[in-house]
Structure 1
């Protein structure tokens, strides 16, 4: 996370978003479909960490979503702290054809909250809707869990592209809306008290996954999303 003035700005925003959930729920294929419009039917489990950057335009602003993907297996949990650091959004993924992956959501949500801010913008994603005949988790169950935890909710299929773009865009748009409110608040503060910042320039908040900052409206730990 870093400060940049309008004069120094070379891009609008960069948001770090993480993909979490059990192994083989389709996290890597969701990312591949969104970032490259590709799907790998025989893809192997992710080892370590990888990320893709995708550009999205919202209200005339260029948003770069830096989307991180890592393995869901327990043996890779050692990367947890660094993986979550600086994240402002998350896709919490389960496989609608494997109930155990849905039952693990609570653990993943606890881990997200332990290693990042409670207010990271999060969407619960029920993936693999193409496996409708093997469904073990009802849509209503996903909706109920998301409502209880204050999450967005959507069902997707990386295989046939259903709702994949919508899932990522929902998270990015909500982060942007929250950030826009913070920038407006800082501008209002500047008008009320012109001396609050020495150079008198409007500050644009930019996320650069991994850094720590204490800008207006944000705690050192993470996002403070209350309006």
Structure 2
């Protein structure tokens, strides 16, 4: 994934990053957008938004990345930002089992507030630490059960951050292409039916007397 300067059509995507407070959502976003890690943690109040233009498989994308608050008192506010989201990153801390268990809460929140076909990716942050509480295999089984891809990252070490967005954006593009192909197939069948119907009507109107 690389930042582009060439002028061509841009695909605009709204991406939300959700998860419990302290899992590293803000550090993840700043590291991806600025290439910097800020060790002094400050809880996000409400929501924050960053924009970055990247390239995925030759497609230029303008990503609007929303950093959402994980604290209980902000969760009602956070729900309003799901509207229009193309993709959602569900983040947990591999050294905090509670943050992983709470992913089910965030999935329920997505069901109630986001579109039915929104693309999701499960992300385990802080994989550089030794105090792991969430086994990779366990997380993979969970991700598979919800038809999500799993990525483990380190926002601090800048490990696999681009892979997260590449994986999510690729899934979004594949889904859009499937919808487009389905729409084209339906339109083709409608046109074919109209042609056949028109032919039958002409046949009925023909008189050989």
User: Is the structural similarity TM-score above 0.5?
Assistant: yes
Q: 2:101 aligns with which of 96, 100, 103?
A: 103
Structure with more contact order per residue of length (Cα contacts < 8 Å, sep ≥ 6) = 1
Query: Which position in structure 2 is the counterpart of 1:45?
Result: 43
Deviation at 1:59, TM superposition (A): 4.1
Shift, 1:186, TM fit = 4.3
For 1:59 and 1:40, locate their aligned partners in 2 and report how far apart those are by CA, in whole Å: 30
Q: 1:177 — aligned with what?
A: 174
Q: How many pairs does the alignment contain?
A: 184
Q: CA deviation at 1:61?
A: 2.4
Distance change >3 Å, CA 129–CA 183, structure 1 → 2: same
Distance 1:45 1:66, change over 3 A: same
Superimposed CA distance per residue, residues 110-155 of structure 1 (whole angstroms, 9 cap, x where no aligned partner): 1111101233111111100111x21111111111110111111011
1:154 correspondence with 2:151: yes
Q: Deviations over 1:74-133 (max 9, x none)?
A: 1112213321011121110000111110111111111111101233111111100111x2
Secondary structure of 1:107's match?
helix
Distance 1:167 1:189, change over 3 A: same
Partners of 2:141 and 2:174 lie apart in 1 by 25
Unaligned runs of 5+ residues in structure 2 are 1-7, 192-209
Partners of 2:54 and 2:187 lie apart in 1 by 29
> Larger % of helix: which?
2
Q: Which residue of structure 2 lines up, in the alignment, with residue 32 of structure 1?
A: 30
| Structure 1, 47-56 or 108-117: larger mean CA deviation | 47-56
- RMSD over aligned CA atoms reads 1.8
Larger gyration radius, structure 1 or structure 2: 2
Question: What residue number does 1:92 align with?
Answer: 90
Unaligned runs of 5+ in 1: 1-9, 195-227
Aligned to 2:120: 122
| TM-score with structure 2 setting the length | 0.81
1:140, 1:59 → 2: CA distance?
Answer: 29
